[in-house]
Structure 1
Amino acid sequence: MSQSDDAAKAGSRRAFLKNVAVASAATGLSGVVGETLAQTGNVANPTGPASKPATPATIALNKQYADFLNFADVQDFEDAKRGLVATLPEPVIIKGQGEFPAWNLQQFAFVSGGPENNAPSTVNPSLWRNAKLNMNHGLYTVVDGIWQVRGYDLSVMSIIRGDHGYIVIDPFITTEVASTVWKQLVIPHLGDKPITHVIYTHSHVDHYGGVRGLVSDEDLKSGKVQIVAPVGFTEAAVGENIIAGNAMGRRASYMYGSLLPRDPVGIVDGGLGKTTSVGTITLAVPSMFAEKTGQKLTLDGVEIEV
């Protein structure tokens, strides 16, 4: 096969992937992933199997963690509150009138207390401590000119101040969460400035799904907003969330326990965040790419090294 044939095939493949991504974005990314999350996330299964108490083996193993870990160390709890600017008055984000919430931190209100070990017998003490830390939520200052919004999705959204506006990194899973956070936390406390760039750090849906809650089609088409991602991002996102969407959706349901009740015998935490938000998953195709380690990109006056 000639080099020209190879180039033509590669170009056709890129065009196909872009068309799939654009079409998927218009329908909430893939119907598979969108529907799976809508059916399972934040909704306990009322007909599922009855919960069981911790077995003696579980109790014994959890006690090993309780005896080994230093629960007198409060540094994590101090760090988790540092830099807090503001929180949503109620940590509940409604999808629309009469609909179930896209996000509801209040359903985890049973997770409470300080750094001391008061874990139920069904929960590993380390996980219970992490679950307490993940109850913190709001807009936080990291350093001057860099902020994060935490506690409203599985992932964290970061914001960098540029010369003319904001650079957003990883805009959550759903548009409902991204839009609410921007309107109710970012604009009131940081100022109403345009978004110039959105960075996807990688192809997992919790790092790009909420993008169209922040930017419009017009701004994307005009180039007013640039989408920055690792090279190969679109192919990876399509492969993971559309071609393998059914399997990934089921995997996510098991991994995050989304069908379990929110209680000490169900789901208490998702590890890196409380759980996944539920709502509209979208995608904006990248217009700029990080191609190699050490590459330098200047985005709205901010130099970023890959």
Structure 2
Amino acid sequence: MTEPKQASSFTAEVNRAAVARYAMGDRADFADVDRGFIAGFPDELRSDEGELLRDGLMLDYVTDDAPTPDSVNPSLWRQSQLIKREGLYKVVDGLYQVRLSANITIVDAPEGLVIIDFGTDVGLAKAGLELFRRELGNDKPVVAAIYTHTHFDHYGGVKGIVDEADAASGRIPIIAPGTIESFNKHAIGENVITGNAMSRRMGYTFGLLLPHCDCGVVTGGIGSEDDGFRTKFSYIPPTDPITRTGEVRTLGGWDFEFLYAPDTEAPEEMHIWIPAIKALTCAENANHTMHNIQTIRGARTRDARNFARYLDETLVRWGQDVDVHYGPHTWPVWGNETVVAFLESQRDMYKFIHDQALRLANHGLTPLEAAEVVELPDAIGKKWFNRYYHGGLHHNIRAVFHKELGFWDGDPATILPLLPQDHARRHVALIGRDRILQEGRGAIDAGDYRWAVQVLHHLVFADPKDAEAKDLQADAYEQLGYQQEVPQYRAIFLTAAMELRGGVQSKSGVHTDNLDTILAMPVELLFDFAAVHLDGEKAADVDLSINLTFTDPGSGPWTMWVRSGVLNARPGHADQARLHVTGPKPVLAALLLDPAKAADIIAKHSLAIDGDVSIFATLAKVSDTFDPYFNIATP
């Protein structure tokens, strides 16, 4: 890995000047973040098998008394000082949180423990519950599990706490928003169907390849990331769906009331009210950060208006009574007046983003033009919990355009543009390499890093082997990264700089399309996953069909066919199918996703086969594979 360079004098001055934009004198968060602390984790936390789960020394250089480095935006440095605190915390009587990159909330109800969200990793979730039991001497059974929404960092650790058999038997209900089918579709589909692209983009957006230092990734803004994304995801499908606001479940002797909030921070999401302790969570619709209307890692665009709508509905339902708001990331907010002000401000922030983006759209501005001029009013923007630690105002304004108006920005020149590589080559041929290099070098010398990135991008895409151009563009990306308040912008720019200098690193800390999530997919999604692996051009003249009988409960018979370059599937068998295969879902999934190994899979598992097995050889010839380390900073 190439060594990062230090901040330039221009970057140091930009970051010093940024202090004036922030309420640096407001230190209330530093008291709140430590409130209720019970115990921390050891510096080095390992699984029972000896795998490193968390390196508590990774962020040792981020201390409360450390001055802001020249290479870090002062707002992001402040948030990193707060977010690095982890361990077990008491929120109020009966409510505890294990605070990691994502929180595990433990409700100590009279008749048992209710777990709300499970973090990303099986080992970390297990260690978190063990820490709770050890410190409090609490051996109550886990009686219920709740997923607040469909993102993997909130269900991924579930098998570290809940046994799948207990969920299947109903002994431990798993409660989640939306129908079971919808939750599965969005939780699993998002992380598997586009899993290869999302994982690679996550490497960029969360800085998974960067060193932890003041010239690398400091924190993820809403999580410390000291697990290094060495995550072992798991998944157990929900068993008890919440599909309307006002539904109540009695769990462990306490009532839990739910507000259904779909199409907000996640496609399926809900808020939870526990009246016995006057405790509320709005899941990730209310955080110590502006959230994403469009995640840069890749996910469906969200509805900013819905954020505001459901936060206001929450205030109407429980605003008079709430004493504490606890979230699935960061630290709680205590006191009725403070919680109400927090929720009102977050509501107004999302509505401001939505309304101002569309106001400017109606004036004819493009997404980029609008993003360059919209600023939050001080009444919203000066609040620390509205700053840009996960989402960013610039891309959120553009996301509202995308949600409401589609991908086209309204400029006729962009509806059918040249490919970036073709455009770059023509641009360089027109202007000349030497002139572009001169302009790029001059922009860097003047601290004009955004322009340097743009102009040098043409040289890099015209000739990815141009080492001088790549080194210069890396310098521009790096300084631009050091200036960012949004940690994801920082990570993207710094990772691009690293890969321009040293090439693509064939390693990544996370793969969302892992075996556990693939096997948890409903059968319909399994066929969707197989379909995106079909090379349509190669399969244009292929005509094949297979009847599959899944022996797992509730799965049954399906038929799959490839015709006209498209893979389709539907329940039931087709009379004309030339091959019939019967077996359990994991084995049939292996056949569909790796048909080149069909002979070995069939022999190993003694599947019931009737018909032309050579169909799998044909399917293998037209199936595609994905490179998990595809280029981003170069063509």
User: Under a length normalisation based on structure 2, what TM-score does the superposition of the two structures give?
Assistant: 0.38
Conserved in 1, the CA contact under 8 Å of 2:175 and 2:242?
yes
2:174 partner letter? I
**Equivalent residue number for residue 198 of structure 2:** 248
**1:191 is aligned to 2:138:** yes
Q: Distance in 2 between matches of 1:198 and 1:187?
A: 20
Report the CA distance between 1:105 and its aligned residue.
2.2
Count the aligned residue pairs. Answer: 253
2:145 partner letter? V
Structure of higher RCO (CA pairs closer than 8 Å, 6+ residues apart): 1
- Would the alpha carbon gap of residues 227 and 217 (structure 1) be closer, same or farther in structure 2, given more than 3 Å must change? same
**Equivalent residue number for residue 5 of structure 1:** none
Equivalent position SS for 2:20: helix
Q: Distance in 2 between matches of 1:102 and 1:236?
A: 27
Instruction: Note the residue ranges of structure 2 that are not aligned, 5 or more in a row.
Output: 259-635
**Equivalent residue number for residue 237 of structure 2:** 285
- Cα offsets for 1:207-238 (capped at 9, x unmatched): 00000000113322322111111112111011
CA RMSD of aligned residues (A): 1.8
Q: Distance in 1 between matches of 2:48 and 2:143?
A: 28
Q: Distance in 1 between matches of 2:46 and 2:119?
A: 15
Q: Distance in 2 between matches of 1:169 and 1:58?
A: 42
Q: Distance in 2 between matches of 1:210 and 1:78?
A: 29
Q: In the alignment, which of 190, 205, 209 is matched to residue 152 of structure 2?
A: 205
Instruction: Note the residue ranges of structure 1 that are not aligned, 5 or more in a row.
Output: 1-46
- Would the alpha carbon gap of residues 91 and 290 (structure 1) be closer, same or farther in structure 2, given more than 3 Å must change? farther
1:35-54 to structure 2, matched below 5 A, reads 47=1, 49-54=2-7
Q: Distance in 2 between matches of 1:284 and 1:207?
A: 12
Q: In the alignment, which of 105, 116, 140 is matched to residue 56 of structure 2?
A: 105
Further displaced range: 49-58 or 71-80:
49-58
- Cα offsets for 1:135-173 (capped at 9, x unmatched): 2121111111111111x3x21111112232111011110
Q: Distance in 2 between matches of 1:217 and 1:82?
A: 34
1:171-186 to structure 2, matched below 5 A, reads 171-186=118-133
Equivalent position SS for 1:76: helix
**1:77 is aligned to 2:30:** yes
User: Under a length normalisation based on structure 1, what TM-score does the superposition of the two structures give?
Assistant: 0.77
- Would the alpha carbon gap of residues 293 and 60 (structure 1) be closer, same or farther in structure 2, given more than 3 Å must change? farther
Report the CA distance between 1:205 and its aligned residue.
0.7
**Equivalent residue number for residue 482 of structure 2:** none
Further displaced range: 90-99 or 207-216:
90-99
**Equivalent residue number for residue 270 of structure 1:** 220
Q: Distance in 2 between matches of 1:66 and 1:267?
A: 20
**Equivalent residue number for residue 147 of structure 1:** 96
**Equivalent residue number for residue 300 of structure 1:** 252
**1:226 is aligned to 2:179:** no
Equivalent position SS for 1:251: helix
- Would the alpha carbon gap of residues 113 and 295 (structure 1) be closer, same or farther in structure 2, given more than 3 Å must change? same
Conserved in 2, the CA contact under 8 Å of 1:170 and 1:198?
yes
Report the CA distance between 1:194 and its aligned residue.
0.8
Q: Distance in 2 between matches of 1:198 and 1:98?
A: 27
**Equivalent residue number for residue 39 of structure 2:** 86
**Equivalent residue number for residue 68 of structure 1:** 21
Report the CA distance between 1:198 and its aligned residue.
1.0
2:87 partner letter? G
Q: Distance in 1 between matches of 2:176 and 2:14?
A: 42
1:112 partner letter? T
Report the CA distance between 1:190 and its aligned residue.
5.0
Conserved in 2, the CA contact under 8 Å of 1:93 and 1:176?
no
**1:169 is aligned to 2:121:** no
Q: Distance in 1 between matches of 2:128 and 2:50?
A: 20
Q: Distance in 2 between matches of 1:192 and 1:253?
A: 39
2:141 partner letter? P
When Rg is computed on C-alpha atoms for both structures, the one with the higher figure is 2
**1:95 is aligned to 2:80:** no
**1:138 is aligned to 2:91:** no
Conserved in 2, the CA contact under 8 Å of 1:62 and 1:121?
yes
Q: Distance in 1 between matches of 2:50 and 2:249?
A: 44
